[in-house]
Structure 1
Amino acid sequence: MNKPFELGVTVGRFQTLHTGHVYMIEKAAAVCEKVGIFVGSSQESGTAKNPYTYEQRERFLREVFGDTVEIYPLPDIGVGNTSKWGDYVLKNVRERFGKAPDLLVSGKEERRVSWFDSVEGVSVAELYVSKIIDMSASRMREFFIEDRLDEWKKYTPKPLWDDYDEMKAAVLAAKDNMFTDSI
């Protein structure tokens, strides 16, 4: 199949993967021959904001997407959402794929607009995927804390339903740990 873009990438923490994330990744797959998912804050786990390890998040993404995407860790470097972060993302994409991405796929957030401003000679198209649901990973974690399985299932891809106990245990164990290295 001929798609308009060769390589699309998306960056997210996926701390809890929900149907909004899935929709965004599916949109990337619809227009890109290859999709790279970079899991941000990959060095962090066991905190209220980042309860899951990189390995858990990678597995959850695999359970939903199988081998149709490539998944890589992307540790934080402490610079926030700036062009310096964009340089870092591009460096990681180049290391993994041997080239810059053709397309960055993300939810429409102002903080991503300046990622690639300082990068000369690189033109990366951007696809902003509108929210189809009013949901966030923070709210998804609250469903675990509030023991609201039915609400959680409404916004969770079915392949992850069997992971509920593992996911809930991680969130409950981490909910009072407010320390975070991620920005």
Structure 2
Amino acid sequence: MIRGLFIGRFQPPHWGHVWAIKAILSEVDELIVVIGSAQFNYIEKDPFTVGERIWMLREGLKEGEVDLGRVIIVPIPNIENNAAWLSYIKSYLPPFQVAYTGNPFVAMLLREGGVEVRQQPMYDRDRYVSTRIREMMIKGDQSWRGLVPASVARIIDEVKGVERLRVIMSGEAEPHKW
């Protein structure tokens, strides 16, 4: 059995993620999907909580007709020590034989640790980018909804994600002081 690894922040999950996961599953028996930066939320780059991202990703994959019986979703917080990063993430995961990434730095760290790395499939990368989708939400451009599964858009609406992003970007967001 070949188990693969795919890492992302999924802020939010979009059709490019779903299609990449489907393509990777055509090459491996099982896929570990790591939701990275698990500890970050309510900030510009990472507005959604890890629980929201797990929920969105599962629903988006179901909508994309991905066999969830072949997918393991694992949230992992970041660490600052890049040299120790691979050992750190391995401690959270079942064994895997191959990793998929489009990030050259992540690929370097994986290869230095002896992991086979393959380029993840990229689908219309100029269009399917979470940063761009968040920017569209902030600007009120409703076409962001076509870039994510409908289930993801419903969850974003339910958690008031667009309003959250606008408050975060307004500069008036300040953590509660105890």
Once residues 47 and 169 of structure 1 are traced to their aligned partners in structure 2, the CA distance between those partners, rounded to angstroms, is: 13
Q: Quote the residue 2:65 is aligned against.
A: none
**2:169 corresponds to:** 175
- Aligned counterpart for 1:30 among listed residues 21, 26, 33: 26
What amino acid maps onto 1:175 in structure 2? M
Divergent runs of 4+, >6 A: none
Task: Could you tell me which runs of 5 or more consecutive residues in structure 2 were left unpaired when the two chains were aligned.
Answer: 63-67
> 1:117: Cα distance to partner?
4.1
- Secondary structure of 2:140's counterpart equals coil
Are 1:113 and 2:107 counterparts? yes
1:159 aligns with 2:151: yes
Contact residue 42 and residue 53 of structure 1 kept, 8 A: yes
Which residue is equivalent to 1:142? Answer: 135
Matched residue, 1:103: 98
Give per-residue Cα distances to partners, 1:14-43, cap 9 Å, x unaligned.
Answer: 112112212221122221211111111101
Give the aligned CA root-mean-square deviation in angstroms: 2.2
The secondary structure found in structure 2 opposite 1:70 is strand
Q: Give the letter for the 1:12 counterpart.
A: G
The amino acid that maps onto 1:70 is I
Match of residue 42, structure 1, among 38, 60, 79: 38
Identical counterparts, % of pairs: 23
Against the structure 1 CA distance between its residues 160 and 116, is the aligned structure 2 distance closer, same or farther, given a 3 Å change threshold?
closer
Inter-partner Cα distance in structure 2 for 1:126 and 1:34 = 16
Aligned-pair CA distance for 1:49? 0.8
Give the 3 Å change call, closer, same or farther, for CA 53–124 of structure 1 in structure 2. same
Task: From the superposition, tell whether residues 127 and 162 of structure 1 become closer, same or farther in structure 2 (CA, over 3 Å).
Answer: same
1:126 equivalent to 2:117? Answer yes
Within 2, Cα distance between the matches of 1:83 and 1:176? 36
Read off the aligned partner of 2:104 and give its amino acid letter: E
Q: SS in structure 2 opposite 1:92? A: coil
Would you say the 8 A contact 1:8–1:104 is kept in 2? yes
* Contact 1:83/1:114 (<8 A) preserved: no
| Distance (whole Å) between structure 2 residues aligned to residue 132 and residue 144 of structure 1 | 21
